[in-house]
Amino acid sequence: MAEFHFTDTIPHPLEACYEAMRDHMCEFTPYLHDVKEIKLLERREVAPGRHYLVNLWVSSYEPPALIRRFVTPEMLRWRDIVTWDDETRSWQWRFESPAFSEVVCCEGTNSMRALGEAATEITLAGRLDILVEKLPGVPSFIGRSVRPQVERFILGLVEPRLRGIDEGLARYLSAVAASAKGPGQAAGTPAPAA
């Protein structure tokens, strides 16, 4: 199991950050790297101030030519299953991959807190388990022995993408703020992610 914990600061107020992350994630897809689409599959209030959401993420990642024929579209999509707590401004999440449901477990709890009136700190904390020994063709004893190295390697690929969500949120909120100023008043709208 590989654990992670990091914080980012977004130059926007807490309420704007929290509401955008919870309610408008599909809208800031253009501001995220390697994300083709986020589709809301389910949303319901499970208790006052607690919301259950399921989003389907589809990656736009283009694998290297050497492995492209082994990478199916199902490998580039996952469900983000989240329970939001409005009182604590936190959310518990887990990713489910249809292609790797028996092999990969990634889950955690994130939170936001105000840093004054115009900035927000986002904390991302979670764990990644990759059961290499359950991959077809991998002997159990080998899978268990290389598991820590594989998890660290995959976490190195996943962490920038998780942090990229925070960066995409900041760009999205800046674009919303700029468009609210009206034509000719905005200093410029941030460009979507390349």
Q: What is the CATH number of the domain that holds 56?
A: 3.30.530.20
User: pLDDT (tens digit, 9 = 90+) per residue, 138-184?
Assistant: 778 877 788 788 777 777 777 888 888 999 999 999 999 998 875 54
Residue 61 lies in a domain: yes
User: pLDDT (tens digit, 9 = 90+) per residue, 50-70?
Assistant: 999 999 988 887 777 766 666
What's the domain range around 21?
Answer: 2-178
CB 136 within 8 A of CB 143: no
Measured distance CA(56)–CA(78) in Å, rounded? 6
Query: How many domains does the structure of the chain reveal?
Result: 1
Q: What is the pLDDT of residue 68?
A: 65
Residue 65 lies in a domain: yes
Provide the pLDDT confidence category of residue 185 given band limits of 50, 70 and 90: very low
Residue 190 lies in a domain: no
What is the helix, strand, coil percentage profile of the chain, to 5?
A: 35, 35, 25
Q: What is the pLDDT of residue 187?
A: 41
Residue 51 lies in a domain: yes
Q: What is the pLDDT of residue 111?
A: 98
Residue 53 lies in a domain: yes
User: pLDDT (tens digit, 9 = 90+) per residue, 90-124?
Assistant: 999 999 887 777 777 889 999 999 999 999 999 99
Measured distance CA(55)–CA(53) in Å, rounded? 6
Residue 37 lies in a domain: yes
CA 110 to chain centre: 10
Query: Which tokens go with 168?
Result: 């995409």
Largest CA distance in the chain: 64
Spatial CB neighbours of 194, under 8 Å, sequence gap ≥ 6: 33
Provide the pLDDT confidence category of residue 74 given band limits of 50, 70 and 90: low
Query: Which tokens go with 68?
Result: 């492209």
Residue 184 lies in a domain: no
Mean pLDDT calculated for residue range 15-26: 95
Assess whether pLDDT exceeds 50 at residue 188.
no
The closest of 153, 161, 165 to 76, measured between CA atoms, is 161
User: 3-state DSSP call for residue 34?
Assistant: coil
Q: What is the pLDDT of residue 194?
A: 55
CA distance from start to end of the chain = 32
Residue 189 lies in a domain: no
- Does 178 or 194 have the greater pLDDT score? 178
